[in-house]
Amino acid sequence: MTKHLLIVDLEATCWDGDVPGLNRRQTVEDMEVIEFGCVVAELDGKLLDAKSFIVRPVLRPKLSSFCTQLTGISQQQVAVAPVYAEVVQVIDAWLAAYQPFCWASWGDYDRHQLDAERQHNGCEPAFMAQEHKNLKQLWCEGRAAKRRSGLQVALAFHNLAFEGQHHRGIDDARNIARLLPWIPL
């Protein structure tokens, strides 16, 4: 049986400076997911499915211009999107056809953000019950340049150009999948 891996790359509300109404920089507790970029792939990197799930933020529903420029996600897109709990149900239904054995992300931010969302919303995607793999950490093992291990650096190491828009969840997730042949799972 082929093993499927779910790669998740989140985009969240963000600000270039202090959080509105607070005199401090943002933490995952301040941020809300605005996109689940999800890719189901085989261990060799073959893409089976890819979906972007846009989420309407509720704590701070107005996206900053920094956030829209960084992610390419517009205020109009999030304004008509379902809220987090509804998106979680849609993702769970979509993934039922694949039964991934684990889920993965590039680094630990996505896992921490989903933990914060569980605290805020009282729910989480079913894939959170699966093992999480930090693909950035796994890719770095045995490589000298551990400090410079961003997604674009890793792609360039393998002579791959980034495809799509950087900091767009679905594009980041697709590019992470392209690195799977070089990541020991």
pLDDT one-digit tens code per residue, 127-170: 999 999 999 999 998 776 656 689 999 999 999 999 999 999 99
Determine the pLDDT at residue 153: 92
**pLDDT over threshold 60, residue 60:** yes
The pair of structure tokens assigned to 124 is 């989480």
pLDDT one-digit tens code per residue, 2-43: 689 999 999 999 999 999 989 899 999 999 999 999 999 999
Task: Determine the Cα–Cα distance for residues 95 and 178; give it in Å rounded to an integer.
Answer: 20
CATH architecture of 4-182: 2-Layer Sandwich (3.30)
Among residues 84, 105, 115, 103, which one has the least CA distance to residue 9?
105
pLDDT one-digit tens code per residue, 80-109: 999 999 999 999 999 999 987 899 999 999
Among residues 19, 14, 134, 164, which one has the least CA distance to residue 78?
14
Domain ranges in the chain? 4-182
**pLDDT over threshold 90, residue 182:** yes
Residue 1 pLDDT grade (very low, low, confident, very high; cuts 50, 70, 90): low
The pair of structure tokens assigned to 98 is 């694949």
Determine the pLDDT at residue 149: 81
Determine the pLDDT at residue 101: 86
Mean pLDDT of the chain: 94
Determine the pLDDT at residue 59: 94
The helix (H) or strand (E) run that includes residue 118 is helix 109-121
